[in-house]
Amino acid sequence: MSECEKTTILLVDDRPENLFALGRIFEDSGYILLQAGSGYEALRIVLQTHIDLILLDVRMPGMDGYQTCERLKANERTRDIPVIFISALDDIRDKINGFKAGGVDYVTKPPQAEEVLARVNAHLAIRQL
C-alpha cells in the first residue's frame, strides 16, 4: 500500500458541486477523501477520524472557514493538521486572514487540478518531516 493510500484528506465546502469538483481532482490520487458541508461538520469529523490535511472553503453559513481553522488550531488534538484554504475570495486581505487563522496555504477558485495536487503533496511531504 502506498503512502497516499493511507492518507486522508477532508474536503469542506457548503456547496455540493464544489465538493464534487474537488473530489474529481483527487480521483486517481489514491488518497482517502472525506467530505463535510459545514465548519461544524468538519470539526466533528476531525475529532472522530484521523485526518492528514484539510481543504477548507472560506465562505460558509454559520461558522466560516477562518473560524473553523481557528478552532482547529486552538485544539491540541487538531492543531497540527495542515489547512489549505480554497476560496473564490482572491483579495490579498482574504489570503492574509487565512494565514492569520492558521492556514498553511490559500488556493483561489476555480481550482486548477495540477496546482491543488502539487500544493497538497507538498504540504503532506512537509508534515512527514
Q: For 80-129, write each residue's pLDDT tens digit.
A: 999 999 999 999 999 999 999 999 999 999 999 999 999 999 999 999 88
Per-residue pLDDT of 20-53, as tens digits, reads 999 999 999 999 999 999 999 999 999 999 999 9
13 alpha carbon, distance to own chain's centre: 9
- How many percent of the chain have pLDDT more than 90? 93
Q: Cβ of 92: how many Cβ atoms within 10 Å? A: 7
* Strands 83-87, 53-57: pairing kind: parallel
Please report the pLDDT score of residue 5 as a whole number: 55
Q: What is the mean pLDDT of the chain?
A: 95
Q: What whole-number distance in Å separates Cα of residue 80 and Cα of residue 78?
A: 6
Q: Spell out the domains of the chain, with CATH numbers in brackets.
A: 3-128 (3.40.50.2300)
Would you state the pLDDT for residue 2? 47
Give the dihedral of Cα atoms 19, 90, 4, 126; nearest 10 deg. -150
Q: What is the DSSP letter of 76?
A: T
Contacts of 62 (CB under 8 A, 6+ apart): 38, 39, 40
* Cell 497538497 -> residue: 120
pTM of the shown model: 0.95
Q: What is the β-pairing status of strands 32-36 and 53-57?
A: unpaired
